[in-house]
Chains A and B, each alone.
Chain A
């Protein structure tokens, strides 16, 4: 069939458009400088070289950037998800006066555009003495509205018999949460963790604003420094640095793709 053949051609074209830039990144990162500056370009590196990675690593304190990004991603994700889980549990299982308006207050935070909060949050963090600290990088981001919403909606779908049985057995709320509710919510929990970790790792503008010393920079901001220092003259080094920033999330994506996709479509179609 002619139509089908055309569809395959388009599909192949789409694949090329999305894979092309990533292939170009990786192949440039492992090319020798002489091979990069060639026209027409070499589609396959003549010789593979790892020189660009060591050049990038030494051009800027990448080890430190890596450490900072890792600390922020791990701690930020842990705190944000803990906030979401505890809040969601409270709203799903506990009584409290004014629960509904309180929940709206938490959800309302989604309506506040992140970019609008930059300057006041910078001033708040500065007045707390948190500029160039992990606290300043992490704490402002651990409030959770969307993740809380997702977790609560999920908790409400769990059968109440199980939590009731736990209560009859004399388990307290925290024990019920830890031993009964969370194990039953693993897919949703993984979804929230993965989405949060990706956000934390990629965060750019906040770390840019709240740090000003090289040793407190994160990878995405470090990339900006590398780019400015190399003055766009050394694409091999810059592409190697870029690959270092991308690779962890690309790996997480390949492993946890199902959860990321699931979480995003869930948020879109329910929200």
Chain B
């Protein structure tokens, strides 16, 4: 462009400018090429194993297929109609909500309490914090196995705790009233250290001046917690709420090892149902339908998080 705009310029200069822009174009093209090369493997795997499954599930959910027949049979919205009106599905959803609710509530309350404790100037608090966090990185299948033994009605640790209180220890995992609470205990034990860690990081990031000023004004510890710390921790609470809901909705390994969805259907959550329909009953259409339902639920949860977070930023 500039070359054409300036016809009076001498020839050698024009040539140099053209050569220069050619070189820059070549360089840019090389940069684009390198970018594509570096990003392609990651993007390919993500496309095939994260995005395509959503499309594939949406398709399968409209079919009836036992995974052996040559091709799925198109049945329209039958799977959705059947699932949404199925009392067993309602029970599964109820169990999932109860299970998730208990774990979310428990881990937020206990996690915050632990964080407040770890924030006190106590000797050995770092060590105990590390101990409480360790279960979070341990294999869920292994943790579940340890707790199966702890819940063993004959020789388990729980019996040693309950019997001195004068109560009869239940046969936890074989009792439909106790299996779900038992699973909740295990998940809390495994995950509460994580919640505490995040809360602790939040507590340590709070401005000290506010708390100190309130203390000078004579506000009690409880008042300062309720009126100052708790409101300032709202964004972290919200983050933990959402991540715990998402994680718990997909909880699988502990359930698989400890109860297998039982006894009966006492611990059959949505994630266990997906596995059960897909890989035990070989009912691909039904499993895909449940997957889409789970996806939609978690999408709503994530969207709400994004919205609230956005509003918080504007508010600030």
- Residues of A at the B interface (CB closer than 8 Å) are 4, 7-8, 10-11, 14-15, 17-22, 24-25, 28, 36-41, 83-84, 86-87, 89-91, 94-97, 102, 105-106, 108-109, 111-124, 139-145, 148, 173, 198, 201-202, 204-205, 208-209, 219-221, 223-224, 227, 232, 235, 238-239, 241-242, 245-246, 249-250, 253, 257, 260-261, 264-265, 268-269, 271
Contacts and interface: CB of A to CB of B under 8 A. Distances in A.
A96 B46 contact: no
Contacts of B149: 24-25, 28, 235, 238-239
Interface in B43-70: 43, 45-46, 48-54, 56-57, 60, 67
B134 A242 contact: no
Given A21-B146, A95-B28, A145-B46, A205 B134 contact: no
A110 to B, nearest CB: 9
Contacts of A148: 42
B253 A253 contact: no
Contact of B274 (A4, A112, A115, A144): A115
Contacts of A20: 157
A11 B279 CA distance: 44
Given A41-B155, A90-B34, A261-B197, 18 more contacts: A14-B117, A14-B128, A18-B131, A28-B149, A95-B31, A115-B291, A116-B54, A117-B54, A118-B274, A119-B288, A120-B60, A124-B48, A204-B253, A205-B256, A224-B256, A235-B155, A253-B137, A271-B239
Contacts of A227: 145, 148, 257
B117 A112 contact: no
Contact of A21 (B34, B51, B147, B292): B147
B49 A95 contact: no
A220 B253 CA distance: 9
A7 to B, nearest CB: 6
B32 interface: yes
A245 B131 contact: no
A253 B45 contact: no
B148 to A, nearest CB: 7
B50 A117 contact: yes
A18 B193 contact: yes
B298 interface: yes
Highest count of chain B CB atoms <10 Å: which of A118, A219, A235, A238 = A118
B25 interface: no
Contacts of B53: 112, 116-117, 119-121, 124
Interface class of chain A by DSSP: helix
B32 A96 contact: yes
Contacts of A8: 122
A240 to B, nearest CB: 11
Highest count of chain B CB atoms <10 Å: which of A22, A142, A242, A250 = A242
A59 to B, nearest CB: 14
6 contacts: A11-B125, A95-B28, A112-B50, A223-B139, A227-B145, A261-B197
A264 B189 contact: no
B45 A260 contact: no
Contacts of A97: 32
Contacts of B141: 202, 204, 220-221, 223-224, 245
A92 B8 CA distance: 42
Interface stretch (B15-23, B98-106, B244-252): B244-252
A112 B52 CA distance: 11
B197 A115 contact: no
Given A120-B56, A232-B152, A268-B201, A95 B35 contact: yes
B284 interface: yes
B77 interface: no
A253 B279 contact: no
Interface string B228-259: 00000000100110010010011011001100
Contacts of B146: 21-22, 24-25, 239, 242
Contact of B299 (A102, A111, A139, A221): A111
A160 to B, nearest CB: 16
